[in-house]
Amino acid sequence: MHENTFHQPKRVHPLAILPQIIKTIKGLILPWLFIIISQVQEHPLRTLLIGVGLLGLAVVFGVLWWLNFTYSLEAGELRIKSGILNKKRRFIPLERIQSVDLSAGVIFQVVHLVKVQVETAADSRLPEVNLLGIPRAEAEALQAYIQSYKTEHHALPTESMPEGIATVRPPVDAPLLQKRISVWELVIVALTSASIGLLVPILFTLQEVIDDLFKKLFHYLFDFTQSASPWQIAVFIAILFFLSALVSIARTLLKYGNFTLTRTAKELRITHGLLERRQLTIPLNRLQGLRIEETPVRQLLGFCTVHVLSGGYGKSEGQSTVLFPLLRHRALHAFLQEFVPEFTTSATLQPLPVRAHGRYLRRPLSVAFVLSLPGIAYIPQPWNWLAVLLIPLALLLGEMQYRAGGWQHVGDCLTLRFRHLTRTTVIIPQRKIQSRHQHQSLFQRPHGLYTCGIRINTAGPGKYYALRDVANDDLLQP
């Protein structure tokens, strides 16, 4: 590699000072609040001056951070220098870099800057590297150079590149396939999300605030007493669900707006976000498995969401990444064949044994019985008997869990399907399975049933998936 083509270490854009100021202010906010509570009444001017001083201190620290933070590419390494009092040096070999992702908030998008997030191998204990405030063209050149180095291990003929970056020819990694999601599909994602119901109790806690703001207009609907009529309660619940649906739609559009999945010869690229534009890169050789999720509503409508499990990838350890937010179930097989053909599955799975049926019904039924008793005792009449509805709902959940359970060996892949509330299908290549587990409880032993599970290598401790009440250990055999 032509090391003499590299320039001196570079600083990030001065706008990167702003996030550092905000970070410092967050660290100082608790002592400032303590000072406000204890001093503001007796010494308001002193409290104000202390606040201004803390803000000035945050600005000084932000500027000093910017002056002491540099990055460069030298000798096959990404070199980071930082620190104000405690000088730090970090040298990351380019071949250990697993992904280089780009993202940009609203302000950065306006001035054509991005944040470059560099992640290293899964076994590395060092944190990820974030380069804030890099010009987009320079960030893309940095991304291309690292990819080129990892694939060819030598510099390519130079072309015109942004100043400060080693000039290389972009790697031959042109998009092979691309798939986007429409706005209407994102609306379906929001309305069929399992979390939409969780927003209802949150909004319910705001009842008093809503009552104060709109007392004259909505007092009759929101003034709940023991004499409230059933239709009042029904209208109130409907309004809460409507508001939660609006919140879910807004959140989904902001997060997954302009979602684009691109497959190249060596990686998957995921781009999404309206206010904060994110670009995620997942090397194909790091793929450990796929997880397909279907909430009850999505399953009823014939939709699913596909997640990808990858080794050493993802800001949050042990979490997966959405590969595509919404697919029709009948189009799933074609989608997998196009974008991840190495993951094969079958529509027909080995079902759970009949003798496991009762165990799947008893588990949620026992929980519902315990929860319904205090509901009957403490909820005001006549609404207390609504707690009894937990019992048929539990039986329905147990039946759905039993019918969802299954497994199958298809080609080089093991497919597991199970349900808690959302039906989940996991597709894992046999060569990616780190360990296989089987155990039998005292309650399973009389029925000759087992719990079988597998562990795969992802970030952190890895991922463990298990299927309960399997008839034998055939699930663990390749």
Indicate which CATH number applies to the domain containing 145.
Answer: 2.30.29.30
State residue 73's pLDDT score: 81
Q: Could you tell me if residue 201 is inside a domain?
A: no
User: Strands 97-104 and 88-93, how do they pair?
Assistant: unpaired
Pairing of strands 413-419, 129-135: unpaired
How far apart are the C-alpha atoms of 301 and 182, rounded to whole Å?
Answer: 17
Lowest mean pLDDT among 3-7, 226-230, 389-393, 425-429: 3-7
Looking at residue 241, its pLDDT comes to 76
**Domain C-terminal end among 152, 168, 202:** 152
Q: How many domains does the chain have?
A: 3
Whether residues 362 and 423 share a domain: the answer is no
Look at residue 468 and tell me if it is in a domain. Answer: yes
* pLDDT value at 128 more than 50: yes
Which pLDDT does position 425 carry in this prediction? 94
Residue 252 has pLDDT above 90, yes or no: no
Most confident of 121-125, 192-196, 208-212, 217-221: 192-196
Average pLDDT over residues 358-375: 87
Flag whether 17 is in a domain.
Answer: yes
pLDDT at site 7:
59
Answer yes or no: do 292 and 143 share one domain. no
pLDDT digits (tens, 9 = 90+) for 64-119: 888 888 888 877 778 888 888 777 788 888 777 777 888 877 777 777 788 888 87
Question: Average pLDDT of the chain?
Answer: 77
Share above pLDDT 70 across residues of the chain, in percent, rounded to a whole number: 73
Provide the percentage of residues in the chain whose pLDDT is more than 90. Answer: 17
CA distances from 9 to 69, 119, 385 (A): 9, 20, 71
pLDDT at 230: 66
Q: Specify if 180 maps to a domain.
A: no
* Cβ–Cβ under 8 Å, residues 265 and 173: yes
Decide which of 152, 185, 220 is a domain's last residue: 152
Residue 259 confidence (pLDDT): 92
pLDDT at 125 over 70: no
447 and 386 co-located in one domain: no
Please indicate, yes or no, whether residues 408 and 457 belong to a single structural domain of this protein. Answer: yes
Give the span between the Cα atoms of 449 and 444, in whole angstroms.
Answer: 5
Handedness of CA 13, 18, 19, 25 (dihedral sign): positive
| Cα–Cα distance, 129 to 81 (Å, whole number) | 11
194 falls in which pLDDT band (50, 70, 90)?
low
Higher pLDDT, 279 or 205: 279
Mean per-residue pLDDT, 147-171: 50
- Residues 368, 420, single domain; the answer is no
Statement to judge: residues 430 and 372 lie in one domain: no
* Amino acid identity, position 137: A
Is the pLDDT confidence value at 3 over 50?
no
Give whichever of 7-11, 30-34, 98-102, 411-415 has the largest mean pLDDT.
Answer: 411-415
Q: Are 371 and 393 in contact (CB under 8 A)?
A: no
Q: Which residue has the higher pLDDT, 126 or 403?
A: 403
6 vs 115, which has greater pLDDT?
Answer: 115
Query: Cβ(280)–Cβ(269) under 8 Å?
Result: yes
| Residue 174 placed within a domain | no
The answer to the question of residue 184 being in a domain is: no
pLDDT of residue 459: 56
Mean pLDDT of 2-31: 72
What is the per-residue pLDDT for 121? 61
Count CA atoms within 13 Å of residue 43 on its CB side: 9
Residues 29 and 45 grouped into a single domain: yes
The predicted structure's pLDDT at residue 203:
47
- 108 in the same domain as 19: yes
Token couple for 327: 């697919």
Length of the chain: 478
Q: Are residues 372 and 468 in the same domain?
A: no
User: What is the average pLDDT across 5-24?
Assistant: 76
pLDDT at residue 423 in the model: 94
Verify that 427 and 384 share a domain, yes or no.
Answer: no
In this prediction, residue 245 carries a pLDDT of 81
Residue 215 domain-assigned (yes or no)? no
Q: What is the pLDDT of residue 55?
A: 82
Statement to judge: residues 435 and 374 lie in one domain: no
Identify whether the C-beta of residue 168 lies closer than 8 Å to the C-beta of residue 94.
Answer: no
Q: What is the mean pLDDT of residues 290-317?
A: 81
Q: Report the pLDDT value the prediction gives residue 141, as an integer from 0 to 100.
A: 82
Domain boundary among 340, 371, 400: 400
Residues 349, 380 within the same domain: no
What's residue 157's pLDDT? Answer: 41
Domain range holding 327?
284-353+401-476
**Residue 303 pLDDT level (bands cut at 50, 70, 90):** very high
Max mean pLDDT among 191-200, 385-394, 398-407 falls in 398-407
Residue 387 is which amino acid?
Answer: A
For residue 193, the cross-strand partners are: none
Cα distances (angstroms) measured from residue 355 to each of 253, 362, 363, 467: 45, 12, 14, 15
Would you say residue 396 lies in a domain?
Answer: yes
Q: Which of 256-260, 298-302, 385-389 has the lowest mean pLDDT?
A: 385-389
Evaluate if residue 47 carries a pLDDT over 90.
no
Residue 424: pLDDT above 80? yes
Which burial class, exposed, middle or buried, applies to 279 when counting CB atoms under 10 A from its CB (0-12, 13-18, 19+)?
Answer: buried
Q: What is the predicted pLDDT for the residue at 135?
A: 84
Mean pLDDT over 305-312 rounds to: 83
